[in-house]
Amino acid sequence: LGLRPKRTLRLVLWTGEEQGGVGARQYYQLHKENISNFDIVMESDEGTFQPSGLGFSGSAEARDIVGEILTLLQPINVTDLYDTADGTDISYWMRDGVPG
């Protein structure tokens, strides 16, 4: 489609969540000095299913942006915006203020 993101998008896949989140912790330790460059973190860890929406934790401004993103997902019925977000793999970032 010739689309280019305005910012770098980083997709990180790791293992070790069930062994205490060692992969996420190591990644955080290696990259936390660049936390100001992270606009959002996201985790998908519910298995294979048809998603209904996104859980979100962050500022009202960031929440509005996620709401706009959900409008793009309406064709696949992903429309709900839940009031909380959590996840072993993103908890370090959210604790330090990155929306999740």
Using H for helix, E for strand and C for coil, what is the string for 36-65?
HHCCCCCCCCCCCCCCCEEECCCCHHHHHH
The DSSP letter of residue 91 is: H
Q: Is the residue at 1 inside a domain?
A: no
First-to-last alpha carbon distance for the chain, in angstroms, is: 28
Task: Give pLDDT, residue 84.
Answer: 84
- Other CB atoms within a 10 A radius of the CB of residue 28 amount to 19
61 is catalytic: no
Of 17, 43, 46, 61, which one is the catalytic site residue?
17
pLDDT in tens, the chain (100 residues): 898 988 888 888 777 777 778 888 888 999 999 998 888 888 877 666 788 888 898 899 989 999 998 999 999 998 999 988 888 888 899 999 999 8
Collapsed DSSP state (helix, strand, coil) of residue 32: helix
pLDDT, residue 96, reads 92
Q: Would you say residue 5 lies in a domain?
A: no
Q: Which domain holds residue 80?
A: 17-96
- Residue 4 placed within a domain: no
What pLDDT score does 63 carry?
92
pTM of the model: 0.77
Question: How many structural domains are present in the chain?
Answer: 1
Q: Give domain status of residue 7, yes or no.
A: no
